[in-house]
Amino acid sequence: MAGRVKKNGNTVRIIAGSMRGRRISFPDADGLRPTGDRLRETLFSWLHEHLPGSHCLDMFAGSGVLGLESISRGATRAVLLEQSRAVCGVLEDNIGQLGIANAIVGCVNALQRESLERYCETESISIAFIDPPFASHLQQAAISTLAESGVLAEGALVSVESSKRDTHADVPSSWQILREKTAGEVRLQLYCVTSASSPA
């Protein structure tokens, strides 16, 4: 397909669940940096009891490993949003090769509220991942867009990954920090949404 990025040997593995050990290909693309195994282990140990039956959103999917790991561990549905058409093509290939029927790829700008609402309209999101390219400094914009979109269920969990050098982003008063860890250059935070927001 025109515009697709060639696979180049880059892979990341699914750590646990029904697809444990399966590898996902990802292309060389600016800012595409899959969450490393150790930090992903930490994140999914935090999320473990909440994953079965969950509806997940990855706002900056990249390799897709966060959403697909969620499916492997029992999530009912994963919405993977990615702005790069070339990266979306590889994501769709991976989903097809893994035989996954309950993951959807949206080739859209996740910072546009209407994109979130369109792809998440059927079910409220119970787990969301915010992990944009660090150099883009989009964590704050992503948090604001997600909070204002109305797609999060009450009690939803939101994971935010950022550079430890970045200042802490402002979050809504209804988001309570549950966990935080710094590993190397990466800061990982997990929030609980104590009340569902409504779109303005």
Instruction: Evaluate whether residue 82 is within a structural domain.
Output: yes
pLDDT at 9: 66
Instruction: Evaluate whether residue 4 is within a structural domain.
Output: no
Instruction: Evaluate whether residue 198 is within a structural domain.
Output: no
Please give the mean pLDDT across all residues of the chain: 86
Instruction: Evaluate whether residue 6 is within a structural domain.
Output: no
For residue 175, give its domain range.
11-193
Q: Return the percentage of the chain with pLDDT > 70, whole number.
A: 88
Domain count for the chain = 1
Give me the mean pLDDT over the 23-38 stretch: 69
pLDDT at 4: 42
Taking 50 as the threshold, does the pLDDT of residue 37 lie above it?
yes
What DSSP line would sit under the chain, residue for residue? -TTPPPP-S-EEE--SSTTTT-EEE----TT--PPPHHHHHHHHHHHGGG-TT-EEEETT-TT-HHHHHHHHTT-SEEEEE-S-HHHHHHHHHHHHHHT-SSEEEE-S-TTSHHHHHHHTSSS-EEEEEE---GGGT-HHHHHHHHHHHS-EEEEEEEEEEEETTSPPPP--TTEEEEEEEEETTEEEEEEEESS-----
Give me the mean pLDDT over the 58-82 stretch: 94
- Stronger pLDDT, 185 or 42, i.e. the higher one: 42
Instruction: Evaluate whether residue 5 is within a structural domain.
Output: no
Query: Averaging pLDDT over each range in 113-117, 166-170, 173-177, which range is the top one?
Result: 173-177
Taking 70 as the threshold, does the pLDDT of residue 194 lie above it?
yes
Give me the mean pLDDT over the 186-197 stretch: 86
Instruction: Evaluate whether residue 189 is within a structural domain.
Output: yes
Report the CATH number that the domain containing residue 150 is assigned in CATH: 3.40.50.150
Instruction: Evaluate whether residue 199 is within a structural domain.
Output: no
